[in-house]
Structure 1
Amino acid sequence: MKREHAIEPTAAPRREQGVVSQTLSPAVRDWATSDGLIWLHLLKTVTAGLLALGIAMLLDLPQPRIAMTTVFVLMQPFSGMVLAKSFYRILGTAVGTVAALILGALFVQQPELYMFGMISWVSACIAAAVRYRHLRWYGFVLAGYTAALIGVPNVTVPHELFLAALTRAAEVAVGIVSSSAVSALIVPQRSSLALRRALQLRYANFTAFAAGVLDCGIERGQFERRFAGLVDEIVGFEATRIFAAFEDPAMRSRNQHLGRLNSEFMDACARLHALNQLLKRLRVNGSAPLVAAIEPYFHELATLMALQPDAVVDASRMAARLQHFQASLPRRVRETRRPLEAVPVESLAEFDTAAELLYRFVDEWIRYSETYASLARRKPESQSRNPSRYLSKTNGFAVAFTFVRSAVVMAIVGWFWIATDWPSGGLAVIGAALACALTSTAPNPSKMTLQMAAGAVLATMTGYLFTCYVYPNIDGFPLLCTMLAPVLALGAFIATRKHAAGYGIGFSVFFCLLAGPDNVVTYAPDLLINNGIALTASMLVAALVFAVVFPADMPWLIGRIMTDLRMQVVSACKDEPPGLNQRFQSRVHDLTFQLRMLLTRRSRRRRDALRWMLATLEVGHAVIDLRNEVARAGYVDALHPRWSSTVERTRDDLARLFERPDAGALERALVSVRSATWIAQDMLQAVHAERDKRHDLQRILSCLHFIRTALLDKDAPFNVR
């Protein structure tokens, strides 16, 4: 009995401990994958910043705070992002250093010409950054404002320019090495793992979304918002793929595989949109027998795609199920079609188009699933398919607009510096260059610049406290790190907040730049305040120019990008077929992403831009399908003497419609599509006894009919000028 009483009190706590452990484990795991990652990023950022500061002091570099500033500009959550940015930062810093030396040599003791040359160089680099974007953006931006950081403070002492360039390059290199080492060695967060998780989540979410669209349809506004989110995912995937290639050799070797995966995802998205549009038109305008005949196939496919829960998605099993469904689909569709042959030709064309689109969607989803499954199983990449390349290109007018806007901001600040001989005017020019560079691709540059100005004010106040009360009362590097760590962590934390990132960037960068400790600390609070005023004033000038003189969402600029978007249909109609689909898809998604970045507010213009994107995707994809089917069925040219010229005229009229949309162009396009449809129907009757040729003509008719229904859609934006 005593033994039982001795065991019982200890057994109960063990059971309770197991229950508590089971209860806390999910919560701990959830924290580790959410807020825990933020705290880890803060720890690594502060560690890298202090490490860079210590190494720079140990090497007796003149401005160790530049090394610390470099860390806060460079540090990112994933090691691949840091390594990639470090690579381009090294290139940009080297080019900017050379540019500073050349400008200093050409315009020695000629401040006006020197400022003109500096403004031209920095503005050109920022414009090139906007043109090439992604990681190359960082290299061009660094080439611009590094020249300002090196050259402007030494413009009055040109004999020290070469030495300043060398020491600045050394300080930047220390920051690069420190951030890269800490990111890669201390609990590294791999971009490749994040990419795999993103791919898994995207596959599961899009499967559920497609099942919802096919089963019961989705309200128009909800579909547009979800499709816009898919555009962001496609563009974001490309950036993450580049990051992953920098840190993981396996990802680098499978780069073409990942590119093809994204291309196939774009194809599946475009086909799902076409199906959604056709289902919407059938349910609104279609006859009851036709809808009753085709909808069971959509419901069956939706059931197949919704069988697995989102938490466990087996792409290979999904592909196998859909292959079985696809194999029986043609026979079943023919059996369903026979009783409908008595209905009007227009209704029968609706049925054929729906069946053809359904077959194409299943085929493209199978290809996407197989590619995704082979990536998950790490199988060797198939060489039977053409490699896909995502193409991104910024509108030339947007690039020129960025150049002029940056030049105007820097010219205003530079003119004021030269005219007043303000001692801190050089730092104001540097601040203007930083503002123009760091906000060049921001959705709302004026808002971000104002946030950076507020961060500069807070950095100046905090720097004043450190200069007057902290630095004089501490001794030794460990105590210095202890005092700096909370302040640096605060700035890094604010920078991780999506809607307040500008405050954190401004505070972290400008605190290091204004009040970061050097080997020989200068206790000059009046100079610090004057420099803080200069930085804040330059930010305010930049924000004013961005908001009033050169707002990013100017109607003419948006119109130019919209024209570029519509011109992709012109390319689909006239460009050479090899690789046309990949070029079309990537350019349409990239231009839509640019428009969404500029039109961030909920407005009619943003809705119009998204609807033009959907119309462009719908018609352009159908035209490419039509061209492929016509090329495959080369014998049709001999069946009718006017077939080739009619198809050519149809493509020309569709191109004119998207080039200059108006009611007249829409009417001409409809007439051309209708003429091509009549000729194709006549040829179909001529080859009705030959099964393969009949199927070829039916696919051509389906493409033409879908283009016509897209042009007649009451929600299409073709009549909007």
Structure 2
Amino acid sequence: MKFLANLITNRKERDLVVVQAAWREWLSEDAPIIAYIFKVLLACLLAMWLSLRFELDQPRTAMMTVAIVMQFRSGMVFAKSYYRFLGTSVGILVSFLLVALFAQERVLFLVCMGVWIGLCTAGSMIFRNYQSYAFVLAGYTLCIVGLPSTITPELTFNIGVTRISEILIGLICATLVSDLIFPQRMWNVMLAAVRRRFKDFSDLLQSTAVQPVASTTSTPTLLRFLGDIFSLETFQASAGMENDKSRLHRQKLSRMNHEFMEVSTSFHAFEQLLRRQHNIAQPQVSVALQRVYQSLGAAIMVEGRSAQTEQEAKVVSRQLSVFRNQFSANIHAERAQLTHDIGTSERLDFETGCELLQRLTDELYVYTSTYASLAVAQSSEVAPTETAPKLEMHFDPLAVTLAGIRGTLSLAILSALWILTDWRSGVEAITLGVISSTLFATTPSPTRTIKNFMIGAIIGTLLAYFCNFHLLTQAHGFWMLAVAVAPGIIIAAWFTTRPATAIVGAGVFMVYLMHIGFNSAYNSNPVTFINDAIADLLAVLISGIMYGLIDLSGSRWSRQRIAKSLRNLVVVACRDTVSLRRGRLETGARELVQRAGSAQRVGDKEDRVVIEWLLSTLEIGHAVIALREYMQVVEHPYISNLLSMSLESVAQLYDAPSEANRLQAVNTINHAIAEISLAYIDLGLSQSSQHQITVMLHFIRSALLDEESVLVSGTQTTLEKY
């Protein structure tokens, strides 16, 4: 009986544990989605009620504003609302100006409108985050306010004031509901992202330290880190609107982003060096460096695992400090174990590996210390002594220009259709066509995005038809009206909760709310509805065709331009009178790839070539910048000339990759190493400076000699052919 009682008790305890685990999983995964859908519905209904109370013309505009700006996190809602208001205000002012100038000249109005749309689309390609969104809003608001005003110019001011009032109601409702009901702060998602990134990088470093370097590749993980860097930057931009920890630690997180870019690049450079040594069969050098590297891998572990929180990162920081203090002694011991029969090149490989490993250790210590400082209470927090550099904007001017032309052409085609056919729904078609032509210009794959948006538009049309002619006809009073429109809002909001269907949800929201058959009073004509639905679908179709014709993101020509832009960063680092700093090189290279969308398409063979150029640019670019810093202590003109010739040969190689230029660069660097090694004392160079310069020259040479590098002529031929 006692055994049976224990069995029943244990079973109950196990069932209780299972129920508790399921409950926690539901709270962490399903509950936020349900809360978000509820908040979207509540904010939309509140915006509809206020619009009706104030007797505004189009309550659906306020509801559409809510649908557009609502996000999971309150800070993102604040940021998007702020920039939407700015963009809308500018668009309305431009509408007033153009209507005042060309109220009676539709063609001139449309020409000026096309120029404005092109400029706004180009601006959205240049800027990031919600600043980009503000340019999009400034563009298509001109369609929403300006086009109706060309039909009734005397009502221009009333139309503009009414639209901005409806949009303000939507923004207020979205921000209030997001901030007061089940608020989700940016700090939680930012801290989770920082913790995950530190843990994943620690696991990556530790795994490469204990496994043979040839058996694993870290490229996919490093590319995921590339996306994380810009995602965290987006989070920080939104966090400025919140008055909590995310705002207090904003500067510190920015420094962490910059420090992580440096440490990830140093890690890649060291990993590539180990791989090259493994491939050319240098067991003594590889084993010696691997032993020190394994000690570093152990130093970032806490009880055999990676740090999970910033409190545990404090422990890692102390362990890294001890490792740094013992680094010179460990290297000296490994250097003493190397036999005397290894060649000069092998010893330079070892010294180069030591230099890279020390740089990796120092940068990892700084990054870990900054991460651990997040655990410090605000009252005892010390103000940072160094401000992290801002991420500069890097983009392809031709891609920006073509995006502006694409937006203008979409407007021109739809405007011509409107004028030539005197189509009643022409304004509707132009509005949605401009929105879809500008809104998705910055996505990694606009053509694929517009296809998903088209699917959402079709679903939204069907939902609007069902709502207009089956539900709204039975609605009497506000609550019945709310019941009628709620199913479409819930379905659209559910689509937006999943990344794979978020664009579909955006299409459902936009078309559904544009076609809801009530303004201040119910008015839905089947003929008008069908005309408007055809106009919307035709507008999205034309936008899709324009993206297909002028979409650089997936073209071979675009990839060649991105590769050329990446190589040009190395050329600039070699030739500019002012040395390109590491931060600028990092952000320039990473943002070029991020904007091109290659980081999201790393599985594609063609985009892999762009990624290889990215890694080569960072690897050689950092070495070139370090070499130029060492050159500042060189006073003898002969050594300066040798180093300048070496840098110029590297610049020529990256400016025009070829086998001949690669061999020329290797020979020039070999000559510089030989001359500096033999006569550095006679040339007035200290042993320390000679060591640093020789090691960095050797690192560049070994990277150029790597047969698996993208610089090899066979890989370059592949780039030109695909």
Shorter-chain TM-score category?
over 0.9
What do the CA deviations read for 1:138-197 (whole angstroms, capped 9, x no partner)? 111110111111111232111111110110000000000000111111111111221011
In structure 2, which of residues 654, 658, 671 is the aligned counterpart of residue 662 of structure 1?
Answer: 658
Structure 2 match to 1:695: 688
Structure 2 match to 1:571: 572
Structure 2 match to 1:318: 316
Structure 2 match to 1:3: none
3-state SS of paired residue (1:389): coil
What do the CA deviations read for 1:438-457 (whole angstroms, capped 9, x no partner)? 21112222222222223222
- Percent identical residues: 27
Question: Matched residues in 2 for 1:248 and 1:606: separation?
Answer: 41
Structure 1 match to 2:608: 607
Question: Matched residues in 1 for 2:105 and 2:250: separation?
Answer: 50
Structure 2 match to 1:424: 425
Question: Matched residues in 2 for 1:218 and 1:288: separation?
Answer: 12
Conserved? CA contact 1:132–1:393, under 8 Å: no
Structure 2 match to 1:366: 365
Structure 2 match to 1:331: 329
Structure 1 match to 2:339: 340
Structure 2 match to 1:230: 225
Query: Which structure 2 residues correspond to residues 22-421 of structure 1 after superposition, within 5 A?
Result: 22-217=17-212, 222-248=217-243, 250-308=245-303, 309-310=305-306, 312-313=308-309, 314-338=312-336, 339-378=338-377, 380-381=381-382, 383-421=384-422
Conserved? CA contact 1:571–1:584, under 8 Å: no
Query: Which structure 2 residues correspond to residues 406-485 of structure 1 after superposition, within 5 A?
Result: 406-485=407-486
Question: Matched residues in 1 for 2:402 and 2:70: separation?
Answer: 30
Q: 1:250 offset after TM fit, Å?
A: 4.4
Conserved? CA contact 1:92–1:141, under 8 Å: yes
Letter aligned with residue 590 of structure 1: E
3-state SS of paired residue (2:103): coil
What do the CA deviations read for 1:386-436 (whole angstroms, capped 9, x no partner)? 532222222111110101111112211111111100000111000111111
State the TM-score, normalizing by the size of structure 1: 0.93
Q: 1:108 to 1:358 in 2, by over 3 A?
A: same
Q: 1:350 offset after TM fit, Å?
A: 0.7
Conserved? CA contact 2:436–2:450, under 8 Å: yes
Count of matched residue positions in the alignment of Structure 1 and Structure 2:
707
3-state SS of paired residue (2:470): helix
Q: 1:713 to 1:15 in 2, by over 3 A?
A: closer
Conserved? CA contact 2:307–2:316, under 8 Å: no
Conserved? CA contact 2:662–2:704, under 8 Å: yes
Question: Matched residues in 1 for 2:169 and 2:648: separation?
Answer: 58
Q: 1:20 offset after TM fit, Å?
A: 4.1
Question: Matched residues in 2 for 1:293 and 1:454: separation?
Answer: 58
Letter aligned with residue 69 of structure 2: L
Q: 1:220 offset after TM fit, Å?
A: 7.9
Structure 1 match to 2:538: 537
Conserved? CA contact 2:195–2:308, under 8 Å: no
What do the CA deviations read for 1:259-303 (whole angstroms, capped 9, x no partner)? 211111011100100111011011111422222333211222223
Conserved? CA contact 1:460–1:529, under 8 Å: no
Question: Matched residues in 2 for 1:408 and 1:597: separation?
Answer: 26
Letter aligned with residue 508 of structure 2: F
3-state SS of paired residue (1:34): helix
Conserved? CA contact 2:639–2:683, under 8 Å: no
Conserved? CA contact 2:580–2:625, under 8 Å: no
Q: 1:123 offset after TM fit, Å?
A: 2.0
Q: 1:175 to 1:501 in 2, by over 3 A?
A: same
Question: Matched residues in 2 for 1:700 and 1:380: separation?
Answer: 39
Query: Which structure 2 residues correspond to residues 510-659 of structure 1 after superposition, within 5 A?
Result: 510-515=511-516, 517-550=518-551, 552-575=553-576, 580-597=581-598, 600=601, 602-631=603-632, 634=633, 636-638=634-636, 641-659=637-655
Letter aligned with residue 45 of structure 1: V
In structure 2, which of residues 681, 697, 707 is the aligned counterpart of residue 704 of structure 1?
Answer: 697
Structure 2 match to 1:4: none
RMSD: 2.6
Structure 2 match to 1:713: 706
Letter aligned with residue 259 of structure 1: S
3-state SS of paired residue (2:708): coil
Letter aligned with residue 318 of structure 2: A
Letter aligned with residue 474 of structure 2: N
Conserved? CA contact 1:397–1:560, under 8 Å: no
Conserved? CA contact 2:204–2:218, under 8 Å: no
Q: Which sections of structure 1, spanning at least 5 residues, go unmatched?
A: 1-7
Which shows bigger deviation, 229-238 or 387-396? 387-396
Question: Matched residues in 1 for 2:602 and 2:270: separation?
Answer: 29
Which shows bigger deviation, 536-545 or 312-321? 312-321
Question: Matched residues in 1 for 2:11 and 2:657: separation?
Answer: 72
Q: 1:538 offset after TM fit, Å?
A: 0.8
What do the CA deviations read for 1:686-721 (whole angstroms, capped 9, x no partner)? 699x9xx43332222211111111111112122315
Conserved? CA contact 2:307–2:313, under 8 Å: no
What do the CA deviations read for 1:466-498 (whole angstroms, capped 9, x no partner)? 222211212111122223222201011112222
Q: Which sections of structure 2, spanning at least 5 residues, go unmatched?
A: none
Conserved? CA contact 2:251–2:387, under 8 Å: no
Question: Matched residues in 2 for 1:316 and 1:683: separation?
Answer: 47
Question: Matched residues in 2 for 1:552 and 1:265: separation?
Answer: 27
Q: 1:122 offset after TM fit, Å?
A: 1.5
3-state SS of paired residue (1:538): helix
Question: Matched residues in 2 for 1:622 and 1:30: separation?
Answer: 47
Letter aligned with residue 322 of structure 2: H
